[in-house]
Structure 1
Amino acid sequence: MAEIHRRLKALKSESNPLKSVAAEITKETRVLCFDEFHVSDIADAMILGRLLENLLNEGVVLVATSNYAPSELYPQGQNRSGFLPTIALIESSLTVLNVDGGEDYRLRTLRPAEIFFTPANEENEAKLAKLFKEMTGITDLNPGISTIHGREIPHKAESGRTIWFDFRALCFSPRSQSDYLYLAEHYEMVLFQVWNNSHRKKRRRRDG
């Protein structure tokens, strides 16, 4: 949706910029797929219905996966009543299939593994590293830098669609909603390492 907003801004002088954006998309693609389709931002919610309507009118085929049934989209969102016509459009124009098999296969690797390790110490950091290796099949952890929307975020390890962050690097520095949406879209598993204050003080005294 960030790309849609960018295009709308570029076409703001037109009488119906959303229709023009839909026409542009139609020239580029005939089948548009959304993975993990969800709505959480009011700006997106208020234009999504008209965008989908224009795309459908242009003959674009829409395919989407989602953890939400159409009626559950944008739950408790601001001005949700204004989003209800979009839900009605989705339900009337698209075929909705429930493919919930009752099991999240992404969690199979974690069973019967622990998911939380406490307290925050070197022993449990080693357990977290072992879990990361088991999930990814790699043998060496190589710290690096992830660049998201031009902003650098150091990570402790990355392999495929699994990444490991120090909580402070990801959450104690200036970030935007789009950064976290990027992570959700590009990674299936995100590991966090959270140090408590007392442990950080002990490490500083020992390292100093």
Structure 2
Amino acid sequence: MPLRLASRTAAVSAAHWISASSAAGMMPKLLLLEDRIRIAGDLANRAECFYATWFAIASRDGRSRFSEVLRDHSEILMTIQAASMSAFVVTLHSLFEKSKKTVNLPTLSAELGGAAQDKLSECTAVAKKIAKLRHNIFAHRSGRLTKEEVFGLASITPNEMRLLVIKAQAICRIMHRQVDLPLPFEMIGARAAIDNILSAVQRDSHT
């Protein structure tokens, strides 16, 4: 069967299964709590890597230290910078939305209660700022506001973004302990790793 036809057939079959399951009250159940907690930890760590990549290129320090690399490879590095910020905002927002159908910290903390729920309250204000960026620039592009205007309305700083990631990771560690899961692998030194890559490219450009 041609690939395109096979894909279309699979999609139609999936749609029919979802429709029939819904009608019969048999929609797929949520993943196990432990699995959803693991996914949340992975998302928090990915957000850390996305932020580290963006900051290494976009920060004043990065632009100064890697000026030659940015000049010689501007097109690809500007693409990486933009993609990293987009991935960072979308991933971080997904952790703080409140849908009961997705993996997110509010839903998980409500199920677990205790310290995770207490820690989550510290994130509300900055999470709302991230939501403004997500809704008006990255998941959807506002037809009324420029990118600069959205960032101005959100009034969010790079440090606030970084601190929100740290808090998300802390909440995930609390949740892992609450259900006796091994702590998630931490992306220790993500910023240093990105710096090393850019430094290597800069050295190679001199040879």
TM range (shorter): under 0.3
Task: Choose between structure 1 and 2: higher strand proportion.
Answer: 1
TM-score relative to the length of structure 2: 0.24
Task: Choose between structure 1 and 2: higher helix proportion.
Answer: 2
Greater relative CO, 1 or 2 (CA 8 Å, sep 6+): 2
TM-score relative to the length of structure 1: 0.24
Query: Computing the radius of gyration over CA atoms, which structure comes out larger, 1 or 2?
Result: 1
